[in-house]
A and B are shown apart, each in its own frame.
Chain A
Amino acid sequence: MKKLRLERKTSGSGFSVFLNSVLFTGVALVVCGFIIAAVGFNPIEVYAKMFRKAFLSARGIRKAIESGLPLMLCGLGVSIAFRMNLNNIGAEGQYAVGAIFGVAYVLYGPNLPGVPGILALACCCFLGGALWALLCAAPRAFWDVDESITTLMLNYVALILLSYLCLGPWKAKGQNMGQTEKIPDAFVIPEIPGLEVSMAFPAVIVIALLLFFFYRYTTSGFQINVIGKSPTAARYAGINIRRNILLVLGLSGGLAGLAGFVQYVAVTGRVQENMPNNAGYTGIVIAYLSRFNPIVVIIVSILFAGLQNSSATVQVMGVPAQIATMMQGAIMVIVIAGDFFQRYKFVAAGKGGKA
């Protein structure tokens, strides 16, 4: 028998990446299909209904976009850090601090009318997320402290802070749950007339496009890619790594902070005790699945949000909620595992170059 060995693929076209993801999503659906059949339902019927409700109805798409907004921003934020090989696991906490800064602005900030007010609020949320990330970026840049640990740990600090504020000083009056008062109407982002989709969505698309051009056509964007691929080469080329760590983590955290902004002004209208609700972690998965490409992040976020919302559709058919959650997990794991075949190929030993 011939021996096989793994070989790294040199490059894959965008199209083959796409095909690979679609193929492995298919594999995931087949695997889940067996489980759905095992609990006594017809998988084709379940999938058809899910798909129809979540992605083929105007309502479904609108909701997927709405739920997807914070995921998009977390995904974009995480991507930029990962491009430079910085493991920002802290989008969850940066999101929370962004929301905290947002409420602080609404409660104590100057009263600017209309668009300037909304922009100032957005800047505050961005700043909140960015500062929270810089708390980890500075130790990393100056003392080489591992940012995956510090960003992760600060998530808990941020969530407890958020929970304290929502249950304590900022709690809405007359309510018995941890949430702030409704945001004043002046700050609410209007919907696109006729589409019932918040203006925040095109704004996020603009951010994604800006990032796309930033990576592709600017020196800073190029430097980030070089540092990510080879820090040594970057150092030899005279790239200021310290400065880039601060810049990239700050930007990454700021984008996650904006997730707090959109959720606050475009979705819930309040900040809640447990608002990030794992969006920061889901953002990591989305960033991976999208290969850190900002445009793809938008699409994958919408698909993910649709999948999450379809759990209601599945349950009403009698399928347990756990199956819906499990499907989300299975798709994530299998598609990421499938990525392996995108990066490596099997070749017969002895062939294809010297070992």
Chain B
Amino acid sequence: MKKRTLSLVMAASMLTMCAVPVSAEEAKDPSELIVGELHYSVAEDGGFAQALHTGVVQACENLGIDTSTNLLTMEEISEEDPALIESAVEELVDSGADIIFGCSTGYAGLLAELQEEFPEVVFAQYNNDVYENIVEFQIRGYEGMFQAGYLCALMNEGSNELGFEASMDDASVRTAINSFALGAKYANPDATVQVVWADSWYDLDIEANNAKTLIDSGIKYMGMEASSPAVPQTCEENGAFCVGYNVDMEASAPGAVMTSFVWNWTPIFQDILQQTADGTIDISADYYEGGECSSLAEFNSELVPEDIQEKVLEVRDQIASGEIVVYAGELKDDKGNVLVAEGETMADEDILAQDFFVENVKGGK
């Protein structure tokens, strides 16, 4: 990650040297930055939004930005209401914001339009690389999910069946399922992953019922791409185990959560903020980071034996060093078609736009 960030920084600064400077503003100390963030829900939602919010807060703190005065958090800004999004951005600009983080995909198009109206403000947006005039950021979530699948398969001694609770059928969710399944397969070539769908981004009852269904069918270890603590709690009540998602979920079910997949946005945001302050930011930049950004939270040592912890950490390091490539050939989908030929790897665009399920996924759509 460090290396990648560094090369990104260098590439970005070279770009800015060649091109006309993007911002004519003079460099300032990062601690003077005024930072705005837009959330579709409350920031402390216990899930995805909270992970982003925590990233912003930690990045600010690391750079000496006083979050009580210089961080302006806008919550419950609906993605479907352009007038509200515009009002929120204008309020932030009026309050002197130097940079605005759009923390939900739905803001992307509008922020790209507003950038033209407010060229002195840097817009950073959670998105794939789509727009040229806003900074976009995304995490290689598949790296962490691969480790989660690997962990579950190692723990699942004597059985090949793992479970997975998924939310909506969407490329990002398929990515989570597939990388979990690939991780499981890496530990145990016969491992299969049974998916159950909530068909909702957030539904306590359905998520709990789905987890129960998996457990009733004899599955003991499961992964999840869901935002509520329903799966961990259902596991705890029924003697099963899982890997939490979005944020560290250990506190909500200490008897079931072995670790959690967490989005660690801090390094990315810190870099964006630093460059904004220096005036070197390239507004067309695209961050797509893995490594420490896409990792597992601390293990629950009560549940995960030391030697297994070490094995998972080893896999983490092997991914970072490039020894393990998650989407490498030969890779087949659940219908037997070859997705990636032997000796080749999948391109980033295809990883981001997954419309397939890998071979050992059961119950895909």
Contacts and interface: CB of A to CB of B under 8 A. Distances in A.
A322 interface: yes
A316 B170 contact: no
A111 interface: no
Chain B interface residue bracket vs A: 35 or more
Given A309-B84, A321-B42, A316 B91 contact: yes
A325 interface: yes
B78 interface: yes
Interface string B162-187: 00000011111000000000000000
A176 B128 contact: yes
A316 B69 CA distance: 11
Interface in B86-117: 86-88, 90-92, 94-95, 105-106, 108-109
Most buried by B among A53, A168, A177, A321: A177
25 contacts: A53-B91, A167-B168, A167-B169, A174-B353, A176-B128, A177-B79, A179-B106, A268-B80, A272-B80, A274-B80, A275-B80, A308-B84, A309-B84, A310-B87, A311-B76, A312-B84, A312-B87, A312-B91, A315-B72, A315-B73, A315-B75, A315-B88, A321-B76, A322-B42, A322-B76
B77 interface: yes
Contacts of A301: none
A283 B171 CA distance: 34
Interface of B: 42, 72-84, 86-88, 90-92, 94-95, 105-106, 108-109, 127-128, 130, 168-172, 352-353
Interface in A106-140: none
A179 B106 CA distance: 9
Interface string A298-320: 00000001001111110110001
Contacts of B42: 321-322
A343 interface: no
Contacts of A312: 74, 77, 84, 87-88, 90-91
B170 A309 contact: no
Secondary structure at the A interface, as helix, strand, loop or mixed, is: helix
B72 A311 contact: no
Contacts of B168: 167
B227 to A, nearest CB: 16
A313 B171 contact: no
Nearest to B110: A268
A67 interface: yes
Interface of A: 53, 59, 63-64, 66-67, 167-168, 174-179, 267-268, 270, 272, 274-277, 305, 308-313, 315-316, 320-322, 324-325
Nearest to B126: A176
Contacts of A276: 80
B74 A66 contact: no
A165 B109 CA distance: 20
Contacts of A277: 78, 80-81
A315 B82 contact: no
B106 A272 contact: yes
Contacts of A66: 82-83
A308 B95 contact: no
A201 B146 CA distance: 52
A130 B12 CA distance: 54
Contacts of B86: 63
